Amino acid sequence: MRTDISFKTEDGTILRGWHYLPDSRAGKVPTIVMAHGFSAVKEMYLDRFAETFAAAGLGAVVFDNRNFGASDGEPRQEIDPWQQVRDYRDAITYAQSLPETDADRIGVWGSSYSGGHVLVLGAIDRRVKCVVAQVPLASGHDNARRLIRSDYFAGLQAAFDEDRRARMAGKPPAMLPVVAEDPTAPSALPTPDSWAWFSETGRTRAPSWRNEVTLRSVEMFTEYEPGSYVGFISPTPLMMVVALGDVLTVADLALAAYERALEPKRLVALPGGHFDAYVKDFDASAKPAAAWFVQHLASR
């Protein structure tokens, strides 16, 4: 069962999404708090993951990140990773307030950029009792160095500086495409599979998705280091779902972060690339995640 929801963050911004419940339940249920990755909106397959969790007897609170999709927030299309972490924490508070939620059995699920967020959340918010990080960002700096040619970096940093001067002068923030058909053209996610997935999924499932972010979003990406928190998650159980062919949030960085995590932990290795976790490898990613949540939340 799915219902539309909205809630206010601590700073008064309204976030909107869905609340999923199992079709049959007795009493309060463990609940998973979920949001999407870099620029993506909830219609981009988060419904399928939440449905899988509900079929396993779990509730789910799914929301669009501020400045995107159905949620409020300004400037539109801006991604501040630390603000998104704070919004996740407000979403946990909201989920705990629902009469159907067992407030002592909260899990968090994230994918790609939000896969990095849930690593941070698992370390800093002990209301979280179980974590699943799918194809997560581990290091903004190292990942950016993989995605951006070294001879382009000085020009990018100069663009960051110029954007900062322009904003200080009262001009609107500079914008950048999320993806481009030509992987050598300026974009935030310059891989061919990023173009293919966002273009197709935006057309078929998520008409509210827009192919642009603020340039400042990319600057904040390069400064964000969620993998530095992974050693602090224990004793909260952690599952990491890593796509071995991932060239966006590159697999070896995620695997290295997993090695730094303490027990209890589990690694699920997918054979495909980053976006296969949502489609071709969906069962291989969603079903182990649901089982992990059931194992560590249902018996609490």
| In the chain, where the domains are located | 2-139+225-298
What are the start-end ranges of the E strands in 9-112?
14-20, 29-35, 59-63, 101-111
Question: Does the pLDDT at position 78 exceed 70?
Answer: yes
**260-296 pLDDT, tens per residue?**
999 999 999 999 999 999 999 999 999 999 999 999 9
What tokens appear for 296 in the block? 């560590």
Q: Which pLDDT score, from 0 to 100, does residue 300 have? A: 61
Contact 118, 85 (CB under 8 A): no
What is the model's pLDDT at position 26? 80
- pLDDT (average), residues 147-156: 92
Band the pLDDT of 76: cuts 50, 70, 90: very high
The residue-averaged pLDDT of 88-97 equals 98
| 83 pLDDT tier (thresholds 50, 70, 90) | very high
| 2-139+225-298: CATH, from 3.30.1340.30, 1.10.10.10, 3.40.50.1820, 3.30.1330.20 | 3.40.50.1820
Q: Is the pTM of this model over 0.85?
A: yes
Average pLDDT taken over every residue of the chain: 97
* pLDDT one-digit tens code per residue, 96-144: 999 999 999 999 999 999 999 999 999 999 999 999 999 999 999 999 9
Q: Give which of 247, 238, 236, 237 is closest to 274, Cα–Cα.
A: 247
- Sheet strand arrangement including 128-134: 2-8, 14-20, 59-63, 29-35, 101-111, 128-134, 238-243, 265-270
Q: What is the pLDDT of residues 185-238, one digit of tens each?
A: 999 999 999 999 999 999 999 999 999 999 999 999 999 999 999 999 999 999
Whether the per-residue pLDDT at 155 is higher than 70: the answer is: yes
Q: Mean pLDDT throughout 138-152?
A: 95
pLDDT at position 183 is 87
Residues 2-50: tens digit of each pLDDT: 999 999 999 999 999 999 999 988 899 999 999 999 999 999 999 999 9
- 3-class DSSP state for residue 106? strand
